[in-house]
Amino acid sequence: MFAASEIKRLIEAHLPGSIALISDDANDGEHFSGEVMAPQFAGQGMVAQHKAVYAALGPRMGRDIHALQLKTFTPDAWQKAGKPT
């Protein structure tokens, strides 16, 4: 089993200045959803943004984390969506 708080920690450590809101949707420690804002996402497409998040999680994706449904945001999009800072 994996904790949503650990996913948050890994992402925020790998992407300085990021904010990660992660939830364990099925309450099973394997199926998560998350919203991630990172300054590094500016100018990147969605696929590149998601790859950056997966890189932060490394081999845990597919091993400890079975699924992660992601929404990624640039800082401007995060602010426009009224997300917490």
pLDDT at 1 over 90: no
Q: Which two tokens stand for residue 14?
A: 């790998």
Between residues 85 and 66, the one the model is more confident about: 66
pLDDT at 73 over 90: yes
- The string of pLDDT tens digits covering residues 13-48 is 999 999 999 999 889 999 999 999 999 999 999 999
- Work out the percent of the chain whose per-residue pLDDT is above 90: 91
Residue-averaged pLDDT of the chain:
95
Q: What is the 3-state secondary structure (H, E, C) of 44-85?
A: CCHHHHHHHHHHHHHHHECCCECEEEEEEECHHHHHHCCCCC
* Matching CATH number, 4-80, of 3.40.50.620, 3.30.300.90, 1.20.1250.20, 3.40.50.10470: 3.30.300.90
Domain ranges of the chain: 4-80
User: How high is the pLDDT of residue 80?
Assistant: 96
